[in-house]
Amino acid sequence: MNSFIILLIISNIAAFYVLLTHHIHMYQLNFYSPVEEKNRLRENRWPNFGRVFGFSLSIIFIMTNSFWLPYQITFAVAILLNALSAYLGWDKTAKIPLKYTKRVIRLFITTMLLYITLIIFSLLLFTDKTIINSIPIVPIIVQILPFLTVYIMMLADYINKPVEKHINNGFINDAKKILKEKKNLTVIGVTGSYGKTSVKNTLKTLLSGDYNVLITPGNFNTALGVVITIRQHLTPIHEIFICEMGAKNVGDIKEICDIVQPKYGIITSIGSAHLETFGSIQNTIKTKFELEDSVSQNGGTIFLNYDNEHIRDKKVTSKKVTYSVNEKNTNFKAENIKVDENGSSFKLNLDGEDVEFETSLLGKHNILNIAGCVAIAKTLGISNETLVSRVKLLRPVEHRQQVLKRPFGLIIDDAYNSNPTGAKSALDTLALFDMTKIVVTPGMIELGDEFYQRNKEFGMQIADIADIVVLVGQKQTLPIQDGLKEKNYPKEKINIFSNMADALNFAINLNVNNKKAILIENDLPDNY
């Protein structure tokens, strides 16, 4: 084996590692779900740098076979292309960087072992063997392997699955043991297609001071995220555990409930989010109400947003408390709602008394969430006066209709996980400001078969409010463009960029005659 083959293999290993890092990163963002990984690949979301291998492979075939160049030149070019792909492929700008957990490290090791094994077998079986006009087989096999990176990774994950399951079961059993020892801990489950994090944080603010409260941090809303929270953060002083429960598949909420055994639960909303994985709205409803099933078994109370028709129409067996902004005849109905650019005010009837609340949060969706949290807080014995003062303390959750004042006006940062209801609410918030209204968006995702229609409707809603539209992604935003067109929105006011950074830079630096209010509606994650 000559030195050129050795150098080719070394450069190939480097490029393969970069490709593997990318695919493991995407796999992690998809919660290690083989189904979602297959969906990603079906959309042909290959990294551009992977195509460099195509040049490298064609160099071996075309240059050696057609132009009869010396193999030293052919291999040198292939080696340089491998090195170039490794350099260009290293992602330094990920919005959510790869977390090098123990599971990720195990997946790296198993995948690399499989890859190296394939190289060794090719060396043992095909060294000095050639095809068509004396083209050596080994370098061709070596150069083909990077194209198979994601499939080698999935095979490695399948091999690791028994180990991962054993480890996860150990963590889950440990978390259950910790909770069992906490006799006086009250668990509140929070789920919904959207609004989970806002409700979780609002509820913590309303209860803290009367109780020692633990919440699942950030986006720790999967079964393992909840387990990590319990094992690392739950202490003997905690009296209430507010557990955010996320789901993308039927059974996800049940899995979390089987661990934490909630006494109380709140279902914030049911909508089109994650329809790609749920498959149907019926599956979404079934999954969200797995929380109600668990609460019922534990003799607890479920709190339901009755403004949501899917929640309102569902029969429940547990004790229920309902809340709303629009729907009449609920236990907690927000009334006399006033919203302006400075905040919101509303009234709730508590213990037969009309109690007025004020908050710096904007929009009816926030008032709805507060009403649900007040309902839970009253059940847990918090006084009216305390609730009024604590509602005034509420602040927006980062990237969820967060109003940021700037010299040019303001930014409404609603970049996190856009959905049809939230997007409409964000536009209503934008409409409050007497400024030049600019919408920056790549549209909404994970809507399954409703992707086109929901985004087209969003485009029509934008047309009613925005003075200027800045879209991210020509193909991605076609439904929005169709919605704008249907409303006869002026073409000259529509601007399209390939990435969010350029789009936002354009909006911020755009010269207008007065102050600007820029709504950032959604920011696609790295796996899109």
pLDDT averaged over 10-residue windows placed end to end, the chain, 528 residues: 75 85 87 77 56 56 54 72 72 74 96 94 77 67 82 95 95 96 95 92 96 93 94 96 94 96 97 78 94 96 96 93 94 92 90 93 91 98 97 86 88 82 87 92 83 92 96 92 95 93 93 92 61
3-state SS class at 90:
coil
Contacts made by residues 80-84, CB under 8 angstroms, sequence distance 24+: 81/52, 81/53, 81/55, 81/56, 82/8, 82/11, 82/12, 82/14, 82/15, 82/52, 82/53, 82/56, 83/11, 83/14, 83/15, 84/52
Q: Which helix (H) or strand (E) holds 354?
A: strand 353-359
Cα–Cα dist 346/45, whole Å: 47
Amino acid at 297: Q
d(CA 498, CA 302): 44
Q: Give pLDDT, residue 62.
A: 47
What pLDDT was estimated at residue 44? 55
End-to-end CA distance of the chain: 42
pLDDT of 72: 67
- The CATH number assigned to the domain with range 182-393 reads 3.40.1190.10
Q: Looking at the domain covering 402-521, what would its CATH class be? A: alpha beta
- Listed in order, the ranges of the chain carrying CATH 3.90.190.20 are 402-521
At residue 354, φ and ψ (nearest 5 deg) are: -80, 115
Structure tokens at 263: 């006494």
The boundaries of every CATH 3.40.1190.10 domain in the chain are 182-393
In the DSSP assignment, the letter for residue 208 is B
| Angle value at C-alpha 291, between 423 and 99, nearest 5 degrees | 65
Residue 521, classified by CB atoms within 10 Å of its CB into exposed (0-12), middle (13-18) or buried (19+), is buried
pLDDT value of position 130 = 62
d(CA 426, CA 400): 9
